[in-house]
Amino acid sequence: MQLKQGTLLQNGKYRIERFISNGGFGCTYEALHTMFDEKVAIKEFFVKDYCNRDENTSHVTVGTQGKKPLVDKLKRKFIEEAKVLYKMKHQGIVRVKDIFEENGTAYYVMDYIEGKSLRDIVTIKGPLSESLSLKYIREVSEALAYVHSQNRLHLDIKPGNIMIDENDKAILIDFGTSKQYDEESGENTSTLIGKTPGYAPLEQMGNELVQFYPATDIYSLGATLYNMLTGITPLSATLLASGEELDEMPNTISLKTRQTIEISMQLNRKKRPQSIDEFLKLLDIEGAKTQNSINTNTQIQTENEETVVIESVIRDNKINGHEYVDLGLPSGLKWATCNVGADKPEDYGNYYAWGETRAKFTYTISNIRTHGLNISQLQSQGIIDGDYNLNPQHDIARVNWGSTWRMPTKDELEELKKKCTWKRIVQNGVSGYKVTGPNDNCIFLPTAGDRDGSWLYRSRKDGGYWSSSPYGSNSNYAYYLYFNSGDQYVYWHYRYYGRSVRPVSE
């Protein structure tokens, strides 16, 4: 039972205008600050399973005396939390303006946000565009990073707790289930643990929140992004743990965004991004802010922090819309400036199993068609040609980029390795190698890692780029270029791994 319209609080300072919503532990109202004629939002502590309200006096009591100590304890924590939130100052977090006790319960007053919740927007409009969804998730992430910097978890990130104001800015609200962690011991104080199905991770469902672990909120961020892009409420973590799967996201959503959601919603919290910074880097949101034009100087920073500026090659040479660089190699081969699926040299792009021309969510032995096929079988099935390289219909570069683009052969990877100089650098915040040809032209190869199962491994540390050549002595392997912090190799490995592809052309 909620407060009636017209109810006065604090001797007439606030007047209840309408009921907005209620949860298991509180009611939210639109109210008016009568002296300033200002709209505000008021959160009332009211545990619906334990509390009753007198219709005439609005006084709140506990229905069962045995529950009174628990409710009193929770009310004290509600007030303590409000006091902490009062001190939080961030443009992406709703501002707490007043705290008081009345009617046998507690209240805190917040700014009233003119706008709609993300939940209501998605319900009315359906799935949002990827660009708009990423804008909102970035704004929420920045607010959440501030919360985490205070050794606090929000614990109820979901579309219903994100308001979009009249300036189209995302504002994080409702900290009723947040937790404060002691900086030294890691112990926590909390009001109540939110468990919104679809948005709460497995450890939250089991109340396993003993230590400060930002990955708990990051699961909810990933689930919220999934909802914005699909219009679907994610399955609960309990159902996912039982073997059920999320509905697939449309192919119109970039692979990078889909993979970020997948990684962020891993059941094992240790396999999720461990900070907001890691989450944003997976989405490449930060990188997009610092990307320079390709026809201007590109700042490159070496790993020992020495900064140099290298003149970029004027990339006015294109094949079928994709830029290339002539490195001056003996073969005359032209190398693309970006990976397949990338928009700029620093982008990782998509990941592919050898001989498969579409990216996918999981990379396993059981879901690759070329596993176990020897050279003779690959030829008989039309997968490779007489020169023992992938046929055009199975060549990742040819299928995705068209024209004369193709994957490099083993020998062409060897030429790149031996005839060029390699320097480990960081370009626009992305680790990789500057590969300089005999004519001093260069390309950048990011350390994009590789994918095994549903996981991305060794990104920012190692790079792996497929050739079109199978390894003849083992029916499960193909050749690829591998590089790490100090060396480059042309080696062979399992075909089912998801790796990068850098196209070439004559």
Examine the pLDDT at 288 and tell me if it is beyond 50.
no
- As a whole number, mean pLDDT of residues 456-464 equals 86
Round to whole Å and give the CA distance between 319 and 398.
12
pLDDT at 472: 86
What is the Cα–Cα distance from 381 to 378, expressed in whole angstroms? 5
Which pair of structure tokens corresponds to residue 2? 């909620």
Q: Which of 181-195, 338-352, 356-370 has the lowest mean pLDDT?
A: 181-195
Per-residue pLDDT at 197 exceeds 50? yes
Higher pLDDT, 302 or 245: 245
- The whole-angstrom separation of Cα 6 and Cα 1 is 15
386 pLDDT tier (thresholds 50, 70, 90) = very high
Which range, of 5-9, 139-143, 307-311, averages the lowest pLDDT? 307-311
Task: Say which DSSP state 255 is in.
Answer: H
H or E element that contains 26: strand 26-33
Instruction: Report the alpha-carbon distance of residue 468 to residue 503 in Å, rounded.
Output: 10
* 254 contacts 148 by C-beta, under 8 angstroms: no
What are the DSSP calls for 56-97, one per residue? TT--EEESSGGGHHHHHHHHHHHHHHHHHHHH---TTBPPEE
Write down the residue that tokens 């068609």 correspond to.
369
Average pLDDT of span 251-257: 87
**DSSP per position, 103-128:** TTEEEEEEEPPPEEEHHHHHHHH-SP
From residue 474, alpha-carbon distances to 67, 385, 402, 426, 482 in Å are 68, 18, 30, 36, 18
Centre a 10 Å sphere on the Cβ of residue 175 and count the other Cβ atoms it contains: 26
Classify 209 as helix, strand or coil: coil
DSSP annotation of 233: P
Cβ atoms 261, 253 nearer than 8 A: no
Closest to 431 measured CA to CA, from 485, 379, 393, 394 = 485
- The pLDDT of 303-325, averaged and rounded, is 61
Token duo for residue 85:
């939130």
In the predicted model, what is the mean pLDDT of residues 13-22?
A: 94
User: Do the Cβ atoms of 459 and 278 come closer than 8 Å?
Assistant: no
Which range has highest mean pLDDT (208-222, 280-294, 365-379, 400-414)?
Answer: 400-414
90-110 confidence digits (pLDDT tens)? 889 999 999 999 999 999 999
Most confident of 210-219, 271-280, 315-324: 271-280
Q: Which of 127-141, 250-264, 310-324 has the lowest mean pLDDT?
A: 310-324
Q: Which CATH superfamily includes the segment(s) 115-287?
A: Transferase(Phosphotransferase) domain 1 (1.10.510.10)
CA distance 417 to 139: 42
Write down the CATH superfamily of domain 8-111: Phosphorylase Kinase; domain 1 (3.30.200.20)
SS3 at position 132: helix
Residue with tokens 């996201």: 249
Rounded CA-CA distance 74/62 in Å is 12
Q: Which two tokens stand for residue 470?
A: 């199978």
Segment 205-225 mean pLDDT = 83
Residue 183: the pLDDT is 41
Minimal CA–CA distance to 17: which of 263, 1, 34?
A: 34
| Among the ranges given (78-87, 124-133, 313-322, 431-440), the one the predictor scored with the smallest mean pLDDT | 313-322
Confidence grade of residue 375 (pLDDT, cut at 50, 70, 90)? very high
Q: Structural domain boundaries of the chain?
A: 8-111, 115-287, 292-505
Rounded CA-CA distance 148/365 in Å is 39
Q: Which of 505, 341, 338 is nearest to 408 (CA)?
A: 505
pLDDT of residue 299: 34
Phi then psi for 65, rounded to 5 degrees? Answer: -60, -30
User: Which pLDDT belongs to residue 11?
Assistant: 96
pLDDT band, residue 453 (cuts 50/70/90): confident
Higher pLDDT, 191 or 294: 191
What backbone phi and psi angles, to 5 degrees, belong to 60?
-105, 135
Per-residue pLDDT at 305 exceeds 60 = no
Q: For the chain, what is the mean pLDDT?
A: 86
